[in-house]
Each structure stands twice: as structure tokens, then as C-alpha cells.
Chain A
Amino acid sequence: MNNPLKMVVVLTVISALAALLLAGVYGATKQKIADAERQDFLKGLTTVLPGFDNEPDRDTLTIEGKTLYVGKKGGQAFGYAVESVTAKGYSGNIKILVGVSSEGKVLGVEVISHAETPGLGSKIEDKIWRDSFIGKTAGSNITVKKDGGEIDSFSGATISPRAVCEAVRAAIAVIGKAGGAK
């Protein structure tokens, strides 16, 4: 009963069956997962590039190693979106998506991922607050009011909004270079 060969055979058979089953399910769900992830990303792009009628996730430019998503309406480029990451959040990286129009005005900011404190720093997800960036340009003072800027911070949480401001400034700078290169 306990001979070593049987142990090897039984474990191998179980592992092989498991591998077979997993391969099947992986193949069956792969496309669906990729679609869901793309939908997610497009939803984010809709917020920061309102009104595009192309496929910005496939229509991209590369500036200084950063990928810019081009939003077009009727074949005419009207804005660019770029992912911007900052490590200055309260905990972990904050990753945002920023859309800027061809005139250099911010069209929208979307938070992709963060690990800020729920209930405090996590308010950076709040749409009304994110919308306060709309219309800002490279010339605006995009810092929190505590630092003398134009953006509100939350009571009890200044670090997270400050980090987002920095990420937005970085995104505007990158997209500004794209505008010059055009």
C-alpha cells in the first residue's frame, strides 16, 4: 500500500488532471478577462477624454517612453491622455489617468489604483474633487490650497491630494511636449 512508486504515480496523476482542467478553464476565460480589462480602461479614458469616437487605447503615441492615448473626434485629434504614477501618496503608489486637450487644458482626471486610507485619502476617488482639475493648464498653480495653490485638500488628508496634484502636473508636462512635437 505504501510503496514509493504508488505515491509518485498518484501524485503525478492528480497533478496532471489538475493541469488539464486549469488549461481548459484558462483558455475559456482568457478572452473574456482581456475584454473586461479593456472595457475598464476604456471607461477610464471616457472620463478623461470625453466624446472620443476612435479607439484611443489602440491609437497611441510614445513620448519619452510614455504612452499617450490620442482622443479623436471625426478624425481630428482633440486631446491626449497619459498614465501618471506618483510614489508620494500616503501608502504605496497612486496611479492616475489624465486627459489634456490640444489647447493644454485638463479635460479630466481618473484614479486607476491607489492604496490610500479608506475614508480619508481614498476621497481622491471622489468625482467632484477630481473635476476640480478640469480647465487647469500648465500655467495654473496646481497644488493644494494649504501650499498656496488652487486645489482643495480634505480635512485629515493632505498628503494624498498633494500627491495627485504632483501626478497631474507631471502628466501636463509630458502631454505639453507631445503638443510641441506635433
Chain B
Amino acid sequence: MKLSILTEGIFKNNPVMKQVLGLCPTLAVTTSAINGIAMGLATMGVLMGSNVAVALVKNIIPAKVRIPAYVVIIATFVTLIDLSMNAYFHDLHKILGLFIPLIVVNCIVLGRAESFASKNGVFDSLLDGIGSGLGFTLTLFVLGSIREVLGSGSWFGINLFGSGFSPAILLILPPGAFIVLGFMMAFNNFVEERRRIGRGGVQ
């Protein structure tokens, strides 16, 4: 079933919440909702491009050099996104600029190339790239939103509580990322465990 490939990456096999991959950008850039979305979409663009490219060339690449070949492909797409973002979304690029090149070493991208795109067709690989990318974007968006609302008192740059509100600055500092992500994972596991028991699973 094609649709399940898409939803797999968003929920059941979410890159951050379930596979716990790609934590460097997850923790580093999510100081605001917009940063989370932008980083997620940039990664999704790379995932789609690299998954399709890897699926296309998987049969001509000798097994021994597949990892270097994948890395070249991934690095190419990352640089493409970096350049176009700098040209067309310059302000956003100024904030995320440092982290875009790091998508190359984001294990989600190489992980999907190795474990999915190298074994499946072009269309399925594209779906997998979109699914994993959306899952990553969704997680970064939620994490960024929580940190921005509690840590800066605003959402998408819009002040929510007026000037009397004193935000918990800790949450937009690096430790805040670990704390919020920990709570999100705990909540996610709690909900899934409840569902499993609800379906008659063993506690």
C-alpha cells in the first residue's frame, strides 16, 4: 500500500521520535517555530532529491562504493538547497545558514538512502522521502513552537502575552531543547502505550 509508506515516516517510524536520528539540527535550530519549519522543509527537499537519485542509480553502483556515491549525491542536493535558499530566502538563510551544510551529515538522509531508497523503486522512494521529511518537519515545528511560546512568549514572532510576561529563557537555550524533546518523547510513548493496551495488548 503506497499511502502507508507516506504515513510510516510521519507517525509510526518518525525520524526523531521513533528512530531518534538527526538530533543535531533538531536540538540546535528549534528556538522558534519558523526555524523548525524551515529546517524541516530544507531537510525534506534533500531527502526527496537524494532518495529519488539513489533509487535511480542503485543498480549501477557497485556495492563497495555505494556509501561514497550516496554521500556525493546528498552533498550535491544540500549545496543546491543552500545556494537557492541564500538567493531567494536570504533572511531565513542568515538564521539557518550555519546548519544547512550540516544536513549532509544528518543520519536521517543517509539512513533513508541506505535502508529504503537502495532497495525500492523511484516512486516509493519519493514517497518515503516526503513521509520522513514531513515527520521530521512536524516534530521540529512542535518542538520549536513549545520552545518559542514558553521561552520567548511569542509564536511565529507574534507576541502572545504582552510585555508583562517574563518568559522562561532556559527553554530557548540548549538545555531547553533536551528537556522539551524528552517530554515530547515521553508523551508520545505514553499515548502509544495507552493505545496498545486499549487494543488488548499486555501491559
Interface of A toward B, CB cutoff 8 Å: 1-2, 6-7, 10-11, 14-15, 18, 21-22, 25-26, 29, 32-33, 36-37, 39-40, 117-120
A17, closest chain B residue (CB): B76
Contact of B169 among A1, A6, A39, A118 (CB under 8 A): A118
| Chain B: interface residue total (CB-CB under 8 A) | 29
A20, closest chain B residue (CB): B76
The 10 closest A-B pairs by CB, nearest first: A36-B90, A32-B87, A29-B87, A119-B169, A18-B76, A7-B65, A29-B83, A7-B62, A33-B86, A33-B87
In Å, the complex CA distance between A33 and B94 comes to 12
In Å, the complex CA distance between A154 and B60 comes to 62
In Å, the complex CA distance between A119 and B173 comes to 9
Whether the Cβ atoms of A11 and B173 lie closer than 8 Å is no
Interface of B toward A, CB cutoff 8 Å: 31, 57, 60-65, 68-69, 72-73, 75-76, 79-80, 83-84, 86-88, 90, 94, 151-152, 167, 169, 172-173
Majority DSSP secondary structure for residues of B touching A: helix
Whether the Cβ atoms of A22 and B60 lie closer than 8 Å is no
A15, closest chain B residue (CB): B72
Whether the Cβ atoms of B62 and A29 lie closer than 8 Å is no
Contact of B65 among A11, A39, A118 (CB under 8 A): A11
Whether the Cβ atoms of A22 and B76 lie closer than 8 Å is yes
Contact of A1 among B62, B68, B69 (CB under 8 A): B62
CB within 8 Å for A6 and B152 given contacts A14-B57, A22-B76: no
Whether the Cβ atoms of A120 and B169 lie closer than 8 Å is yes
Whether the Cβ atoms of B63 and A2 lie closer than 8 Å is yes
In Å, the complex CA distance between A29 and B76 comes to 15
Question: A127 to nearest B CB, angstroms?
Answer: 15
Chain A residues near B65 (CB-CB < 8 A): 7, 10-11
B79, closest chain A residue (CB): A22
